[in-house]
Amino acid sequence: MKNWFNYKGTISGKTYLFRSLIVGIPLLTVSFILVKVNYYAGSLFYLFSLPIFFSFRYKRMSAVFKNKIDFGKKLFYITTSMELLLAIYYLFDIELGQSEDFAFIDLIELPSDIFILFILFKDSGIEKHNG
């Protein structure tokens, strides 16, 4: 089995989707349950599980932006930084983090969501991925 959580190599869109689902569903379920039981534990668990998703995203970004890797890295670092900052913000703002109402700060995740959808559906043109 290849190393899933290594930042080297590339993966296809289908592999990116399946790895994200296989790892993401249990992690996000545990995080959701922990937030209901103990908000800080759930928030910290979510914050520390984000790098796992970032490794999959980085591998897929390396495949999609193989010719323009600097541009891809900039998009990757911007979107991951915004996600991490939002997770840290929710760690300190408990009332907003536990609220189910829409807050304008949630729009910070919109560029990240667009980037994820782009790398998921964009054809990389690579026949044999090595990640």
User: Which amino acid, 13?
Assistant: G
| Contact assessment for residue 43 and residue 105, using Cβ atoms and an 8 Å cutoff | no
Q: Find the distance separating the first CA and the last CA of the chain, reported in whole Å.
A: 10
Residue 126 has phi, psi (to 5 degrees) of -90, 125
| Contact assessment for residue 52 and residue 5, using Cβ atoms and an 8 Å cutoff | yes
pLDDT of residue 4: 61
pLDDT in tens, the chain (131 residues): 456 666 677 778 888 889 899 999 999 999 999 988 998 998 899 999 998 889 889 988 988 888 888 898 999 999 999 999 988 988 888 777 667 777 787 888 899 999 999 988 887 777 677 66
User: Which amino acid, 76?
Assistant: F
> What is the radius of gyration, based on Cα positions, of the chain?
16
pTM, to two decimals: 0.83
pLDDT of residue 94: 78
CA proximity to 94, closest of 51, 20, 44, 58: 44
